[in-house]
Structure formats: C-alpha cells, structure tokens
Structure 1
Amino acid sequence: MTKPIIAAATAISMLASLPAAAADTPHYEVVEFDAVEWGALNPARGDASPRAGDLWGDRARDKASGFLVRFDEGFSSPPHIHNVTYRGIVIGGKIHNDDPEAAPLWLSPSSFWTQPAGEDHVTAARGAFNMAYIEIDSGPYLVQPSAEAFDNGERPINVAASNLVWLDGGDVTFLPASDGSGAQTAFLWADRETGERGSLLRLPGGSSSRIETGAGTLRAVVTSGGIRYTNPQTTAEVALGAGSYFGSMGNAVHTISCDAEDDCLLYIRTSAAFTVAE
C-alpha cells in the first residue's frame, strides 16, 4: 500500500520472503504530497465523487491502508454506508460526518472521527480546501446504499480538535522531559489484540526531533505544518508538507525539523515502541 518512496521501501510487503539477515534491516518509505496519485473515492458517482489518493497500501485490496480524501467546497454526500470501519483525521477545511438527521458538527483540522461499518451516515465539507486522512484495518473500501445498513456493534466517535488532551514529557516516558514547550502527544485509539495504536504528535515550530522505533511498523502522516525529513537511507533532506507520509518497518530512526512558525502535527499509527528525542 505505498506510493513513490525514498530508499528501499518497496520490499516491505516482501519481508516474509527475505533471508533473516535482510529482514533485520529497517525499511523506509516516503510519499510527498505532490506525488500522490488521485482518483475517484466512489467511482460510481463520477465527477461528483470526492478525490482520493493512497499513501500506503491499496484501499481496493483486502489489507489495511491509509489514504487522503479531498472534498470540494460545499460537498454533501447522500446517505450511505461502508463495508468496513474507518478512522479519519481532518487536515484542511471543515468536515461533518454523522447520521443523516444529525445537526452539522463541523470538525476542524486535527479533529478525529470514526465511522463504523454498516452505519448509515452522510459526509459534508465546507471550506475552500477540505482534506482528510482516512485509514482502514482491512479492505476493500466500498461505498454502499443505505438499504444495506447493518449494526456491527461499534459506535461512531467525533473528537473536535479543541477536545484533544495533550500530554508532554512530564506525563509519558517516550517524550523528552519538557517545561511544557516541547513535544506533546494526544492518544486517539488502540487495539489490544494487535498492539497497534494511533496518536497525534505535536512538535514546536523551529524544533528538531528524532523518532526512534523498536521492531514493528510505524506510519506517520503530516497533518499540519511543514517538516524537513531524513532517515539513515536518504541522501538529502526531503520537504514534507501537510498530506505527506513517511513510514518504516523494523528498528528505525526518523529525523524531523519543523519548519513552521507554529507547531507541526503528525498522525502516527504504530505497532512498535518508539521514543522522541530533541
């Protein structure tokens, strides 16, 4: 589920077939926002469909994936369901996702929501530029009519950016000790069975940080600000704006400089233990 990458990341999906020594080598992948290939999120609606582009994985296949979705100003979908549950992070504009009869709840950038499989809902957007990061734990991602609605036992979650709870190095051990002006995190979800979890990482403007991971997978999407990025397999820094992606498998190191005057925010999905150092 990847796009153009830097370093030898195309082998990630082939690790099972690699010799043991090769499998111990970390693999990296990077997707710049400008390299995302866009298509219709729901091909059946043609030009009326939001545009979507994969960052990692392939949303048309039966595995996990993460992708961007762009909505035109004033977009409003008809009621519908999806065959799989998804999570969303607002990157730009304002997005409403709720039951067809619900009053609009406009989620601003850095807000988080989930949409359970089978639940009838509508999605709308307002803003000159509206974009969200969406991820699923299995695919394919399909849009289906409300008549096929079902209850899978899950309930939707809408967390406005203003309701996020931010923790720093005084609260969690994987962030550097801080006086409150350093790196911070907000926990979003966790899967006890797989050990995977999702969170937001906030880095101060002008700061430099290093993310070091243990064995496992880390996937990160820039949701706000602009960063300069390197890893041990890159030959030069790469500028990654909002909507860009980087990831790794195995013990890895990601070096990040936050170019923004304000904070830089990353959404991180990981099965690996990681630490952030300044």
Structure 2
Amino acid sequence: MSNTYQHLEAVIFDWAGTIVDFGSFAPTQVLLDVFGSVGVPIRLEEARVPMGLAKWDHIQALGRLPGVAARWRDKFGDAMRDADVDRLYRQFMPLQVARVGAYSQLIPGALDAVATLRGRGLKIGSCSGYPRVVMDALLPLAAAAGYTPDHTVATDDLSPGGRPGPWMALANVIELGVRDVRHCVKVDDTVPGIEEGLRAGMWTVGLAASGNAVGLSAAQWQALDDTAREQHRAPAVAELQAAGAHYVIDTVGELPAILDLIEARLQRGEQP
C-alpha cells in the first residue's frame, strides 16, 4: 500500500444505538406490539436477538427463535411462513415510521465526536437496518438536532440486501469517493453491523453501553454504579469482540481516541 494514502478517510455510522436512540428502543418496542397484536407475545430480550438485520429479516429471524416459534405454532398450528412475515412487516412499518421520532434523541457525546471527526477532514457516512421510509422520517429530526451525515443508505436502497452483507457500507464508500476501504471505520452496536464492516474490508468499532446488547436508556445507564455497569457491559463487549470488532467502547463519544490508534496502525502498514 502506498505511503501517500495511509490515513483514514471516512467513518460510517449505524443509527439506532450508535448515534441516536440510546439502548436501541425504537425497533424493539414496535416489534413487541406487532407480535402481541396477533396473539404471539414476545419478550424484549427476544426482540433484541436479531437486531441489526433489515426489519423484514429481523421479523423472520424472530419467528425462528425456538421460544417464539413454539408460541407461533401453538397459536397458528404451523411454523411462521414468508406470507406471515409479510403481514407482520406491513403492520410494523407504519408504526415504526410514526414512533421513530420518539426515540430520535442523539446519544450524549455524538455531536462532539462527529465535529471532531469533521475537523480532521473525515467524511461521515451512515447506514441502517431501517428501510428508506423510516430513514426519511428520522433524517430531518436528526438534522434539526445537529447531525447530518454526508450520505445515508437505508436497508432497502440496494437490491442485494442488508446486513450482514457489505453492500450498504460499500455504497457509502462509492458515494463518498473513498479511495481505499481500509481507510474506513464502521461503527455499530450490533453483531450484523460489525460483520458488515468486516466484510467490506474496514476497521470496526463496536459500541457496548449505548447499544442493543445492554439495552438500557441513557438515564438508566447513568444511574448504575460501576459494578452494575460492568455486569451489563461485559456480555455486550464479549459479543462484539466475538463478532470480530477491532475495538469495543461504551459510546460514540469515545471514538476520536480510538481513531488515533487506528491511524497509528495504518502508519505502521497494518490493515483491518
């Protein structure tokens, strides 16, 4: 690799649990309501298992969890089929669009971190498990709060599909004019999001405290003492590390220091 371009060019952020919606509540709460409306109640911890996938895929994956699958079979006499997923997805979408604003608050430290990155000349990309209709509702709310990425890819913008495939991350690379995928960092709070970045050939940073695996609001997290925080943090860190994340931190506010470490590794000729 030429010495000319051995520096970071872009950071590609996830949305819920990463930049907005501390604890990633918007998707899970709607899923609880949708499954409950057809007489198959699911638990919050079940709704969180497939987080990071496109929402149709998320619903399908939920239907395959052993406990949910058993309840579905008890209710309907058969396993969940694609037509059932379609029906639940049609119920899910308008509710998600209507409620995404209630969970659109920026995660503490996000604006300062993004401002620091822009001050270093980095481009800001983004992608999400949300479909375009949800992103179209969320983007202006985020902009009003001060966050406007240079590019955003929704999970249904591309025909190959969403995570854990690399396509949304690579679409950002193309649109942002990044010269080398190894000069990109993917930041995400879910396993599929980390896998997305790795498959795209990027550095990856997992977020434990603000994300889906811990699943607490900012106020709930702040109210914990150090011992309780570590009890919640440890499984989330282990999950993201097992997925292959190069680094795991609590929230996006800690990202600038991690980028210093990645820059130093690039200068030494290391690759993701």
- Both structures adopt the same fold (TM-score exceeding 0.5): no
Structure with more contact order per residue of length (Cα contacts < 8 Å, sep ≥ 6): 2
Bigger share in strand = 1
Which bin holds the TM-score, normalised by the shorter protein?
under 0.3
> Taking structure 1 as the reference length, what is the TM-score of the superposition?
0.27
Structure (1/2) with the larger helix percentage: 2
